[in-house]
Structure 1
Amino acid sequence: MADRGKKCPAPGNSTPAWMTTFGDMNSLLLTFFIAMLTSAEIEGRELRLIMSSYEGNIGFLQGGSTLAPGTIPDMGFMIESLPSREKGEKLSQAVKDVNKLLKPELKDKKVTIQETKKGLKLSLSSDVLFAPGSAEIDFEEGREILRKIAQLIKEIAGEGFKIEVIGHTDNTTIPPDSTLYAKFPSNWELSTFRACSVVRFFIDFGLDPSLLFAEGKSEYEPVFPNDTLEGRMYNRRIDIYITIEDSKS
């Protein structure tokens, strides 16, 4: 008959109590990663890299495998958002197309191109588009540049794209005794009308009006000081942003 006064011996090498909580935490993290990965377009190599941290033993325990620091950003996205690769690919292709289509204009600095957080930015000198004090696209050279840009946008733009046209001036204003003063009493009107003229040109070319947006910034966002002729020349410009908005769930 068993001795009721004796206790069962404690099992050897028991699992620490904290492992239960740690296991639950890793299960939640794994669920989080799976949910995030299903909403992103990620190639097999990247998926294997992320999932490798859950193969074998868990996390930082001996024998486990983890992602090396910086691996996820090197894959081309940040872990907190994991945006679609398609956005980056489309903008990268747009950069290549712009450099090819506008090679002469880029070389002569009549057009500049810049990749920004907002998107692809094309800057055109207003002097190739407009006569002084005018918001009409007066020069054939400017119209030809806009046709090239419009054709590019037409080929790549689709759902989620947005084309922002922003007009800028220098700090010179139209004199009150000028016949143009009634129409453009300040650079706010001039910069806005110029942006609208470019948008109207794009619409006439066949671009979807719902993708387009026009805005005037007057003289208040110069790229160079306005105290030289060259500085004022660079400040008179039209900026065209080609952006792709993140899709909303």
Structure 2
Amino acid sequence: MAILALTAAGGSPGATTTAVGVALCWPRSVVLVDADPGAHQAVLAGFLAGQDPGGRGLVRVAEAHRDQRPLREVIIDQAIQLAEDAGSRRLFLPGFAKPGNARLFAGVWPELLEAMRRLDEFGIDVILDLGRSTGEGLPPPVVDAAELVGIVLRSSLRSVMSTRVMLAAIEDRGVPVGGAAGLGLIVVGEGRPYAGGEIAAALGRPVLARLALDPVAAAHLSDGAPRPRKFERSALTRSLHTTAQAFRDRCAEATELVGR
């Protein structure tokens, strides 16, 4: 079972684009969950080109929790199709309808995360798109439950400094981070200007993945732009496939180590 959480400090580094891309390349069936507390609906308005979810989403999950209904089945019922795939299920669970909904969700997370873990019985993993970290930080139950927490950032000084502030806030709150696999960095566009090793040394966290900076291919994932003719062979797609497989392997190793 894998629960992967992705977030970013700010500066539009591409956390949601990364989450969509990794979900599309994930080696097993997967549910991508829009858990952005800002309720930006970035996947619905972007990659899914304004698709109407028909009222489905995390608010309905919260209602099911209130009514003490089993959440594992509710997750699947409330999800819509992210993309067609003959070999795997690629689902999407829409996010909060209003920013205030996230604050009311704190009591739902523990049971929901346990239900997400039990999706392994269906051969399904979970990717949580936490969007940009807010002043309230990352939800502690999510950070604690995820096998892997990835912070997406560019290799610019501005992005590195924003991430440093975010990491300090996490440490100040004493939030446990991610089981055995822990928390690391996903660098988009390494070498513009800093190398991954320099960024890891500056932030005291390992670089888990390096993604190509490929604006044309990224626009398909972030904004639903027409799929480029050579999308599958693009530098971004190749790096996403490598990243998805590596993350799945790391999550599997973490699960075995802690006996989840």
TM-score > 0.5 by shorter chain: no
| Higher alpha-carbon Rg | 1
Q: Give the number of the structure whose residues are more often strand, by fraction.
A: 2
The two structures have a TM-score, normalised by structure 1, of: 0.29
The two structures have a TM-score, normalised by structure 2, of: 0.28
